[in-house]
Structure 1
Amino acid sequence: MIRDLKSKGMNVTQIARELDLDRKTVSKWIKSNELPAYRKRARSKSKLDNYTTYIAQRMNEGCVNAMILFDEIKAMGYQGRMTILRDFMKPHREQMRGKASIRFETPPGKQAQVDWGEFKILKEDGTFIKVHAFIMIMGHSRKQFVEFTENERIETLIGCHERAFTFFGGVPETILYDNMKTVVKHSHQTGTNKWNDKFLRFAKHQEFNPLRCRPYHPRTKGKVENGVKYLRKNFWPRIRTVSSLADLNGAVRLWLDTVCNVRLHQTTREIPFEAFKRENLKPMNPESFLLHDLQSRKVMNDCTVSYEANFYSVPYRFVGRRVGIRDLNNGHLEIYDETGICITSHVKLSGKYHALHNKKHFEGLQTWSQNKVAATAPILIPEQPPKVYQRPLQVYDSLISEVTQ
């Protein structure tokens, strides 16, 4: 190209400007009798070379998280940076995304899947509060149960399971989970050692087998993963305002009954509500697993108990006795007597120093303060006339005879 432009009458400066080259470079190749020969640069050795086989194997197993692989090869002696690893993984990750998979369909009553989803609610001051959506979906029929909670703690998880079993009317044989810490204690362990002890006791209490999905394989529990996406796309945009967690759960329950579980499912081509009739679930244990975790409170004279600086009424006959409070963490409270029987429930109040009364708790309550007499007042006893005794006349005759003698 340089020689061609030179043959057309252009000087070195014009050629350099036209090709965006240095004048010295143009002069060099005009004087040269040979064309430039480009040689492929020898590839320098990378610090990652000794670990590429291991990385490819782990990615083939399903682990495409660069941070996890970085920690693993660093423990093996890798001294390079994260960027080298990411550059190597990028084309392999794209291939992993395109891998085909076989859909696994479960028979009726065999399996359910559980997962959490996180959602945000905008407050009046412009800040956000986070709520958690517990989702259980039946593997065969795709019927769903959803409940929004304050947190994902173990007590909340177990309570959500119990209410889900009540909603479905029974318990499946197995339930599939990911590696959430409230369920799986040690992901590298096997047998019962891998499970959270408290959750494993709950599973035995309700007689179902917990299963852990294969690590780094989200498609293993794809049914519930799709359920979370459907909740986010179909239900959440319908909610414009919400007054409380209890209000939100009322809305999602209506959505389950009128939209989610009565639609034509795109995969099964069946209505979940109708397909659920084939699910043959085992009866659930009616005894709540968490009754021993109740928070004890004494009922005050005004027929209320205090919980988190708010006050809730109970039937007046429990005044002076101790009751147990169970926070469901879904916007409701349950109150139990000493025998474990639920005596009332309330919507959980927000803020502090508020009171919630149920009028039925005070029906039949009588007051005696206006009619009572003070205990220290003396009692007035009316003066009584002397009592006159009547005797036979013979008694008087005998007395007279005694005197005259």
Structure 2
Amino acid sequence: MIKNGEHFMIKEMHEKGMSITQIATELGRDRKTIRSWLQENETKKYQRQMTIRPCLLESFKGYVKRRMEEGCLNAVVLFDEIKAQGYAGKTTMLRHFMSPLRPTVISQATERYETPPGQQAQVDWGLFKVKWNGTYKRLYAFVMVLGYSRMLYVEFTENERLDTLMGCHLRAMQYFGGRTRTCLYDNMKTVVSGQDEQGEVVWNERFAKFANHHGFVLRRCRPYRARTKGKVESGVKYVRKNFWPRVQTFTDLHDLNLQARAWMDKTANVRIHATTHEVPQERWLREELQPFNLTRFEAVYRHERKVSSDCLVSYNAHRYSVPHRYVGYTVEVEDQNNGLIRIYTGEIILAEHVKALGRHQVVANKTHFVGIRTTGSSKAATPMPLLVPKAIPEVVTRDLSVYDIFSEEVMTS
């Protein structure tokens, strides 16, 4: 392609009397090219040939818009979803599309306080709503974050009561494999009862005994400075923005917690954390957690029930099965308020069931009925009356001479 400057030079050289061959030799061009340009009165404008390629995101835009209208504004979550549907592009294209559609979020900065390994865990609740039979139902997410490694534990519950809180602590310590030296809270009523005349915190007596039993010290964040527990606040936000949008359906609270456990193991605790720039699960290996008390603290109230002859135990208008050999026993029902029911005799777990929904449901484990003896597999005979023949009267045996006497008497008479 001859540039505009060369076109003027060719014109000028030709006007000075140079032949086409001389001009082509001088400029190193083909004679046909020189001749063609000499025939042009105006300089040709350069036009770049544009190849229009179909947008990789085009077929997924409707889905992305719908999910954003549902409240999912996290590009990473949506990228995972459309990638599973066949999207071959990158997150850059997706973010560019989402940018004008998402509301502007302004976050306030605060000074970050880093803790050494094994020093502190932070705890908070998150409120979530679900649509249940045409109405909205509240669920509560217990979130614990280890301060050093940023390992996260989340469990959804029916309420925020003290028994529920202590049960969640125990299961979190089991998940982490230990406990930190301190645990930080805000002014939640199940933990903080108030403050004394000197302004010192007054802890809930039962929860303080629970903490002492397992060996960790209670700490309260500064009043009106809830962001001093920013690690767990960020954890609650992360659950809300990254896990919650992934949940499209769940059958019950237990199913929701199974999805949360899979998300913790496959996403939350194996990602590169934005603050530490390390994987929480890898930093957890350096967390230096202390062992908690394996002796059970009576954190959850147990309800005594008697096992009926059909191997079932009644609780909250539902019935749950136990092994048949415990028929007639008095057992204890423990409601963990996280979608599970456990039935004990002493410290032995007889049964664990997913908590029933609605009313008057029977939740049974078929193995609990294996081995029950029966009288036989055939049907019992239909009762029928017994035909007893009438008894034959006894006949007196006499000698024949007696009958001869009777006949003589008849003849003489």
Q: TM-score range by the shorter chain?
A: 0.5 to 0.7
Residue identity in the other structure for 1:108? P
Match of 2:356 in 1: 349
1:240-279 → structure 2 map (5 Å cutoff): 240-279=248-287
Shift of 1:303: 0.6
* Deviation sequence 1:53-81 (CA, Å, 0-9, x none): xxxxxxxxxxxxxxxxxxxxxxxxxxxxx
Does the 8 A contact of 1:179 with 1:187 survive in 2? no
Shift of 1:368: 3.6
| Match status 1:210 vs 2:218 | yes
Shift of 1:187: 3.7
Residue identity in the other structure for 1:118? L
Match of 2:344 in 1: 336
Does the 8 A contact of 1:297 with 1:306 survive in 2? yes
Distance 1:315 1:181, change over 3 A: same
Shift of 1:193: 6.4
Larger radius of gyration: 2
* Deviation sequence 1:73-99 (CA, Å, 0-9, x none): xxxxxxxxxxxxxxxxxxxxxxxx998
Does the 8 A contact of 2:161 with 2:190 survive in 1? yes
Match of 1:111 in 2: 120
1:155-304 → structure 2 map (5 Å cutoff): 155-188=163-196, 194-290=202-298, 293-304=301-312
Same amino acid, percent of matched pairs: 51
Per the normalisation by structure 2, the TM-score is 0.63
Shift of 1:290: 2.5
Instruction: Name the SS of the counterpart of 1:242 in structure 2.
Output: coil
| Match status 1:151 vs 2:155 | no
Match of 1:120 in 2: 129
1:92-107 → structure 2 map (5 Å cutoff): 101-107=110-116
Shift of 1:287: 2.6
Per the normalisation by structure 1, the TM-score is 0.64
Match of 2:37 in 1: none
Shift of 1:123: 2.2
Distance 1:190 1:147, change over 3 A: farther
Shift of 1:362: 1.6
Distance 1:345 1:189, change over 3 A: farther
Structure 1 segments unaligned to the other structure (5+ residues): 1-96, 374-405
Report the RMSD for the aligned CA atoms in angstroms. 2.2
Does the 8 A contact of 1:155 with 1:290 survive in 2? no
Does the 8 A contact of 1:299 with 1:323 survive in 2? yes
Match of 1:90 in 2: none
Match of 2:393 in 1: none
Q: Give the distance between the partners of 1:98 and 1:236, measured in 2 at CA.
A: 20
Q: Which moved more, 1:188-197 or 1:128-137?
A: 188-197
Does the 8 A contact of 2:341 with 2:352 survive in 1? yes
Does the 8 A contact of 2:193 with 2:204 survive in 1? yes
Structure 2 segments unaligned to the other structure (5+ residues): 1-105, 381-413
Residue identity in the other structure for 2:123? V
* Deviation sequence 1:88-140 (CA, Å, 0-9, x none): xxxxxxxxx99864321111111100000000001242x20000000000000
Distance 1:351 1:263, change over 3 A: same
Does the 8 A contact of 1:170 with 1:284 survive in 2? yes
Does the 8 A contact of 2:167 with 2:300 survive in 1? no
* Deviation sequence 1:228-268 (CA, Å, 0-9, x none): 11111111111112211111111111110111000000000
Distance 1:100 1:239, change over 3 A: closer
Instruction: Name the SS of the counterpart of 1:117 in structure 2.
Output: strand
Distance 1:114 1:291, change over 3 A: closer
Q: Give the distance between the partners of 2:168 and 2:372, measured in 1 at CA.
A: 36
Picking from 368, 372, 377, the partner of 1:361 is 368
Does the 8 A contact of 2:312 with 2:321 survive in 1? yes
- How many residue pairs match? The answer is 274
Instruction: Name the SS of the counterpart of 2:258 in structure 1.
Output: helix
Shift of 1:189: 5.8
